[in-house]
Chain A
Amino acid sequence: MTAPRCVRWAAFLAVAGLAFVGWGSAHAADVIKFGVSTPLSGPAAPWGIPHKNATELIFDEINAQGGLDVGGKKYKLEVVAYDHKYVIAEGVATVNRLIAKDGVKFISILGGAVVKANEEAVNEGRVLNLPLAYADGLVSPRNPLTFHSFPSPPETTTFWKWIKQNHPNLKRVATISPNDDTGWWSIKVETTFIQKLGYETVAKEFFERTMTDFNPVLLRILAQKPDIISVLASPAGSVGLIIKQARELGFKGRFIHIGQVDTSVVANIAGKANVEGMWVHGFVQAPLPEKVKSWQARYTKKYGEWNATSIDFTNPAFAFVAAVRKAQSVEPKKVADALSIVEFDNLWGKAHFGGKDYYGVGNQIIYPMPFSEVKDGVATLVVQLLPPHN
């Protein structure tokens, strides 16, 4: 090979290389990364796994149709998910990694304490956040790019009105909840609401998330002879142990979780008979509307096993896709502006973001929320209710 030919080859390879890199960059730019920071292991994994899976499935379906059309350009959607184990430090680390290393501009964080710990990072990074979390002050004018994508206690407490009308014999309420921001706020909202309805709050206890022996706390609660125990904001593993141990100590009344809990996971720990009659929000096994049945088939096909928690955890992905389509932009601020006005379909009906009268900002998802009762071991839909604020 002569020297000039060698130079020509080198030049060709350089140009080809640059072209490849250029194509790669252009290709990378056509992907919208969506960060998911959620508990994929530990006691809160029954929430985190369907959170990640539901988001991935919706994005896969859009990608299979060619991607998301924004301004005439097709974007592929990619989930970048990390496990925070419902540990605050891990939650902060995963969100920092998503923003700083992975460069995500859109994120969905699960867990009140984790979301609160990341408020500053999300606001300063100008990242659009679609969390599934309960925390005081999360939906607030201070967090303009945070759109809470799951009904919170100010919305779900409306179910107590239904209980009051349909089960007037229940009068004495005890609460047991995690000893953190999520638990404190949830119980504060719930007890304020039910006391106005005329219920007597006979006990209010908090527990560390690592606690497994609830006997001493339950002895205190049961000494007050409650008719119903609220386990709001508690993860499925803890709820299972609470119910099992309360039944062993002789409690015959009802349990209620107006947050969200997988009653099949609870029953695995507590025993099927012990969970009978429990009321829950956001977990329905039967009867499923056609739209949810279709979701069940698709979810089961992809993941091999059905998880009913995934139904309501589709909200961040549905809201995000609807807002990007409405905004025709991938700029977080423009997508946020679109979220404020867009109406979209979730698996339970029409959904939008509102609640300005209550929160001072319309960043709370509103839709007909499903409530169910465990009958013969199955979480059976009893009513769908809209929140008291729109």
Chain B
Amino acid sequence: MTPALFVQSAIIGVSLASIYILMALGLTLMFGMMHIINFAHGAVYMLGAFVIYYVFFQGGAPYFAAFVASMILLGIFGYLVERSIYRPIKGGIEPTLVALIALTTFLQAAGYPVFGQLDKHVPPVFPGTRNILGVGISIERLMIIPLAGALVIGLYLFINKTRLGAAMRAIEQDKEAAALQGVNVHVVNGLAFAVGFALAAASGALMAPIFKLDPMMGEQPLLKAFIIIILGGLGSIPGAILGGLMLGLIDSIIATALGAEPAFLLSFVFIILVLLFKPTGLFGYAP
């Protein structure tokens, strides 16, 4: 592999990792607080992309307005899911899992009659390429990195610098103790659903102009996000960031050097090795 090819594949890997990280952050946030794995995350990613399709491409709204609309709409949807699914079944982990799988299946199945059977596309928001260290990279892909980075920083500040974030951290550490301290667990759980869904929607909204849109488009990113949170440690935000970066770089650099199949296999070998030495993941802790 030439140095130029390495640089090109590394930049593409970081761009890819940015999306994985956004997906994984929403998942890990919800797992950390409620110990649920949100199987609907991929479907929410898909809905986030379709909001861009309808609001930006079909509706003619500015891309960033559509992006914010996507996060807000899916955030509200997340809050409603907490109210209508998670809360009525009183936070039972297994019933919630089954209910979220059912929600995913419903959203994907409903996607074909609602959005149409053919793949959709969104025109480029940042067309063209930029030369970086002698290699051409699509500006669209480059723009993902600062946009996703801004969202990650925003989430970090929200979790660590606001009262609501402190309430989330308190619930993550000890739900009963947090409730005794006056934290409204239901409201904060609802907020965690809203934030988690909004992050998945942001991932979909960022990817909409780069890939094609179809009701099943969230399955692959969801699988990647699962791998990342296991690699980084369930419930760990720094773990999700580091895990996402590692997986994105492995996916891109190894696939460029050896091909897609070896990269797929090697990413799993790498995860197994990490889990052999640290079964709780890179930043995870034993319950």
When the two chains form their complex, are residues B260 and A211 in contact, meaning their CB atoms are under 8 A apart? yes
B5 contacts partner chain A, Cβ-Cβ < 8 Å: yes
Note all chain A residues with C-beta closer than 8 A to B220.
210-212
Interface size class of B (residues with CB under 8 A): 35 or more
Once bound together, how far apart are the Cα atoms of A271 and B212, in whole Å? 12
Stretch at the interface among A11-19, A39-47, A344-352: A39-47
Against B, the Cβ 8 Å flags (1 = close, 0 = not) of A193-216 are: 000000000000111101111011
Extra contacts, 8 of them, besides A41-B112, A49-B117 (Cβ < 8 A), are: A42-B214, A205-B260, A212-B220, A216-B252, A217-B260, A236-B119, A240-B121, A249-B138
Interface centre among A40, A46, A210, A216 (most CB of B within 10 A): A216
When the two chains form their complex, are residues B5 and A223 in contact, meaning their CB atoms are under 8 A apart? yes
Residue of A nearest to B138 (CB): A248
When the two chains form their complex, are residues A223 and B2 in contact, meaning their CB atoms are under 8 A apart? yes
When the two chains form their complex, are residues A46 and B252 in contact, meaning their CB atoms are under 8 A apart? no
Once bound together, how far apart are the Cα atoms of A237 and B259, in whole Å? 21
Note all chain A residues with C-beta closer than 8 A to B252.
215-216
Once bound together, how far apart are the Cα atoms of A206 and B261, in whole Å? 8
User: Which chain A residues (241-259) contact chain B, with CB distance < 8 Å?
Assistant: 241, 245, 248-250
Residue of B nearest to A237 (CB): B119
A265 contacts partner chain B, Cβ-Cβ < 8 Å: yes
When the two chains form their complex, are residues B214 and A217 in contact, meaning their CB atoms are under 8 A apart? no
Residue of B nearest to A215 (CB): B12
A269 contacts partner chain B, Cβ-Cβ < 8 Å: yes
When the two chains form their complex, are residues A217 and B255 in contact, meaning their CB atoms are under 8 A apart? yes
Once bound together, how far apart are the Cα atoms of A250 and B228, in whole Å? 31
Of the candidates A206, A236, A250, which one forms a contact with B136 in the assembled complex, judged by CB atoms under 8 Å apart?
A: A250
Given A212-B212, A213-B211, is A40 in contact with B119 using a C-beta cutoff of 8 Å? no
Once bound together, how far apart are the Cα atoms of A41 and B141, in whole Å? 28
B9 contacts partner chain A, Cβ-Cβ < 8 Å: yes
Residue of B nearest to A85 (CB): B216
Once bound together, how far apart are the Cα atoms of A269 and B129, in whole Å? 17
A135 to chain B, nearest CB (A): 20
B contact set with A: CB distance below 8 Å: 2, 5, 8-9, 12, 16, 112, 117-119, 121, 123-124, 129, 136, 138, 140-141, 211-212, 214-217, 219-220, 251-253, 255-257, 259-261, 263
Note all chain B residues with C-beta closer than 8 A to A40.
117
When the two chains form their complex, are residues A45 and B8 in contact, meaning their CB atoms are under 8 A apart? no
Once bound together, how far apart are the Cα atoms of A227 and B249, in whole Å? 29
Once bound together, how far apart are the Cα atoms of A249 and B215, in whole Å? 28
Given A42-B214, A43-B119, A265-B118, is A219 in contact with B260 using a C-beta cutoff of 8 Å? no
A300 contacts partner chain B, Cβ-Cβ < 8 Å: no
Residue of B nearest to A40 (CB): B117
Can you offer 7 A-B residue contacts whose CB atoms are under 8 A? A41-B112, A45-B119, A205-B260, A212-B220, A215-B252, A219-B9, A240-B212
A268 contacts partner chain B, Cβ-Cβ < 8 Å: yes
Of the candidates A41, A206, A269, which one forms a contact with B117 in the assembled complex, judged by CB atoms under 8 Å apart?
A: A41
A220 contacts partner chain B, Cβ-Cβ < 8 Å: yes
Given A206-B261, A210-B220, A240-B212, is A220 in contact with B119 using a C-beta cutoff of 8 Å? no
